[in-house]
Amino acid sequence: MKNTIAFPVKALSICVVSIMLSACGEGDGSTSSLVPPTVNLPVETPPVKPPVTSLPATPLEPSMPIKPPATSIPATPLEPSMPIKPPATSIPATPLEPSTPVKPPATSIPATPLEPSTPIKPLITSIPATPLEPSTPIKPPITSIPATPLEPSTPIKPPATSIPATPLEPSTPIKYPEPKKDIADFYLLGFFDHDGRAGEIRAIRPDLVGDFQAMIQFGQNHTVDPQGNEAKNMPRLTAEKEALLLVTPTLEMGDINKLAAEIYKDGVLLRTVNLADPTQIPDTDQTNTDQRPRVAYSKRAWSTKLNWDEVQGGLKIRIVDDQNRSGELSEDNIDFAAPGELVLTNIRLGMLTDAPQSWGHYMLRDPERAGSDYFQTIPAAQMTVASYDDMKLERVMVANGTIYDSVSDSNDAGVYAGDMRENTAKSTFGVGINLANWGVTSASMQSQEQPQLTQNVNAHHARGKYKNGEYNHGLSGGNGMLTLIDSQGNEFSHEIGHHYGLGHYSGEQNGDFFWAEHHANSGWGYNGVRNKMRSNLDWPRQVEGDGLTGKPLFLATYGYGRDAMSGGSQSGAYSNYTHYTGYSTKIKIQPAFDKAVFDADSPTGYKKWNAELRKMEVIQPKVWKESKNVWYNSTDGNYLKPRLQGVPVFTILGGYDPVAQKGIIYPEARGNWGNVFELPTPHNSLESASCWLSVTYSNNTINDIALAPNRMTSNANKFHVNLATSDNPKKVDLYCKKVNEAQVQLSTIDIRQYSDAIKPAVTFGKEQGYTALRKVELPILEQKLLAQAENSTISLDANGQLLYDSYKEYRDELSPLALQTLERYEKQQETLNRLNRWVNVYRTDLIKKEPEALTEFQKFVIDLELQDDKPLDNVTTIRNGNNCLKVETLEGGKLNSFISGPSGCTGDDSEQWIYDLKGKIHSKMALDQCLTEQGSWVVLGACSLDSPAQVWEMNGTDQIKQGGKCFDLRTGNLVDNRGSLITYNCSGGWNQKWTTLTKNPSFILATAGNNLPLIVDSLQKQPVSTDDMQTRSLSMDSKEEPSVLAKVSTAISNWIDNLVN
């Protein structure tokens, strides 16, 4: 049997053209005796237009046969006897007359004519099947006429820019173009896309007027609707506080590629902003690393952030899509609540003992983080966190007039009890500091009455010495004061909840806790400083209840969180405080912020929200003259206007008995925030009874401040006065006098001189934003970036990523080198986003291992310059002696890690581990599973990009650890040839000695997330090319009936054999 030469189609195309040009004399009237045999060809086959790369770059040797390249075969057979029309930009279609000068284009024709006898040698990828007659001049098409005359014998060299590396068929559509729009991860659940206790699909409410329809929500402390929130037991949108705008198009709008929001104030366009598509909605605070699915707020909502000064009366929003359809939310269809303000003062107080100290005093220890954190949970537009220096009282006065100097008489004291707890910590300091900030100088020590004119709260950590021992007081709150063990966690959220007016289990009705806990419509939250969504799910909490008794479940997968007043706790990644339910916020918390606020620009010192006008306006608050417990030192019934607002102060506190004429001035309490007033002076005539404080300043001026002259419902009164530290007060004396008697000095103190300035109070919200926190945290981000400036791959740890998400908009405050590193990091992240987007969009074909998909994916990886990334490098075992750490698959498909004895260690993939750049340890058997610390157990969990529980240190020793805890073989023994891996305080024992791993520098391994296994699998597969398959289909050994293409190939091959012979 005679061998035939099998040609791919593109080579056949060129062969036919070249043969016909040579054999037929290129139209010079001669005919060739060498013609191909007749074959049955399809009729009306158009001439094939060759690719740009078919132009030969170098002369051919006319006498040498040419082997065609292995390019693909066209689906339609060629007419071998017909000339092929070349593309306009490359091969001339008709021969030139030798005498006709041709003007070459500047970018492609050589300036110097070549010798006419120089033949043209084709490129390897575009060699014609037969040699060209070198003496035949070629006439270029109109689109390639040279600018200057050309000698007719000069061959044309194509421009370098016109030859692609791989010839494309112009008419072939690209099956796997790089996606420009992502799709949601397949494993992700959209929380608000479901509704009700049973998790039905939520209908999208049309909120707009126009030909574009969508549902609008705003995210602050809760995600709320523009209107109608009260009917759903939800709060309103808080005015003058930044918010996340959420836009969910109705299904009728179809596929949308782009959305923009036009933001108006009182009809004036402020700005136009492009919305982030649903895949870019802010991440959630999810912390669980078990095998339950991840949850986003929505897989359908587009989003952007609204500035604080845009969120106020007169706001109008117009949404426009890429088809120029638009819908409008008018200013009349947005309800606002008051832009309330919270001032929180904090102090540690020791009564006859030292003040308590604790890491849990979060508001004092770290006010920038603690304050900005709690601010996210409340419907306030501004929050100030202030503090006092720690205080120790050597002598203490209580309401019955007794003054202690060593120990209190109480013998039943405890966390909730003790006379100093009630009269000193709560009444004198807690209530007294608030009264001082309203310009009220004195009140009953027995009473804790206060007017709550503004939203001022004092939090104190107090410890007292009693007959029955020393006790810390705490776990109590209400009426403008919080007596706390810790100022973080649910204790703080719960106790200040009592201050707002909430009771325990608010909303519980006859055993139904639906309103006392979170549910599908109780509202998520938006953390503005971290740009994260706060869920109302309790992430670690496994499903409980049947979903019908008031304790619903989310899709039978997650339990809901509990309100702060219902045994709640925080479980999210970015907060130390509990997420209140929408119900609690609506019925008590938001109304509590509809109070006056201090305003230095107001002629009265105060402003308040006008709900009808939807703006703040000046008010003149009035005192309650009928009070028997508070001495309002006002002559006209008005609250005094502060002379100075929010300045460093010395708060002068103490007690006195006007009858027994004894009293005490406590050492000055130095604080960083307080209001200072022009206070009334006493009436010290002989006929009057009076009490007063006499303040002496450094310039020897004296200021007398009137106090209540009589007892007020208890033997002892308390006094509370703010003095500006900038006024340099030096001494304070306490005096009282009875009618027709001389004054008596009851107590005196010298104000200490301070060498250090007190740390300023911090304020969040409105024009302050989160500046105070940024001043603390941005330098940390700067150092993290500088530490990696020399690294080829920038890998931020969980904290670094959080800081980047928080402050990337403030990059201009970074140093040049840190900025350069940040920009490299962003470029790498964009590369990763492109990679994951490609996988998300073409996931189905990659899973099916479609050859074209695998080929194009691997090409795309090269385009991303990730071809040298090796996710499976540095794979090794983790051993404790002869024992090894393994992975097993349990019933139901769940993966479990355990320690195997030597006989079970075989070295297969279940024992192989990889250590990535971020410090995560991946199982080779399941690359998207990482070793995770979970309540001292080390388990397998879905690899997270930002979970500290998955970051492990290996410092060159034989320990694998997190902080001060190390990998540990539990109990130090195996049972039935297996054991458990836990973390335990590092001791250096043999059961904590492990083989360590070398970090794999793979960028893909560290950052690809859930797509990692599919990416690695797709990179390893060797796809079968279409050319190979087509070439094999034309094999001479094929026993199948040859196709038309095969017949053409065979006929032409025989013809070429004869020609060559």
Q: What domains lie within the chain, and their CATH numbers? A: 1-176+1023-1061 (no CATH), 189-337 (no CATH), 638-750 (no CATH), 767-863 (no CATH), 879-1000 (2.80.10.50)
* pLDDT, position 571: 85
CB 395 within 8 A of CB 679: no
CA 252 to chain centre: 30
Three-state DSSP at 356 gives: coil
pLDDT digits (tens, 9 = 90+) for 100-131: 444 444 444 444 444 444 444 444 444 444 44
- Residue 875: burial class (beta carbons within 10 Å; 0-12, 13-18, 19+): middle
CB 214 within 8 A of CB 321: no
**For residue 1004, what is the enclosing H or E element?**
helix 1003-1007
- Residue 312: burial class (beta carbons within 10 Å; 0-12, 13-18, 19+): buried
DSSP string for 458-492: EEEEEEEEETTEEEEE-SEEETTEEE-S-SSHHHH
Tokens of 461: 């950590």
SS3 content of the chain, % helix, strand, coil (to 5): 25, 25, 50
Residue 908 to residue 13: CA distance in whole angstroms: 52
The response to whether 222 counts as a known ligand-binding position is no
**For residue 838, what is the enclosing H or E element?**
helix 816-841
The response to whether 922 counts as a known ligand-binding position is no
CB 880 within 8 A of CB 894: no
Amino acid found at 395: R
* pLDDT, position 290: 82
pLDDT digits (tens, 9 = 90+) for 890-911: 988 889 999 999 999 999 999 9
Instruction: Mark residue 713 as left, alpha or beta (left: phi above 0; alpha: psi -120 to 50; beta: remaining).
Output: left
* pLDDT, position 1047: 58
* From 240, 328, 422, 495, the catalytic residue: 495
Tokens 């087509």 found at: 1030
* pLDDT, position 1020: 87
Nearest to 63 by CA among 4, 132, 154: 132
| pTM (two decimals) | 0.79
Question: Other C-beta atoms within 10 Å of 48: how many?
Answer: 21
* pLDDT, position 303: 98
Nearest to 590 by CA among 404, 455, 408, 778: 455
Sites in the chain below the pLDDT cut of 70 = 1-172, 197-199, 544-550, 1022-1061
Catalytic (active site) residue 495 = yes
Half-sphere exposure of 670 (CA within 13 A, CB side): 16
CB 903 within 8 A of CB 886: no
* pLDDT, position 88: 42
CB 993 within 8 A of CB 925: no
- Nearest 5°: CA angle at 763, between 762 and 766? 160
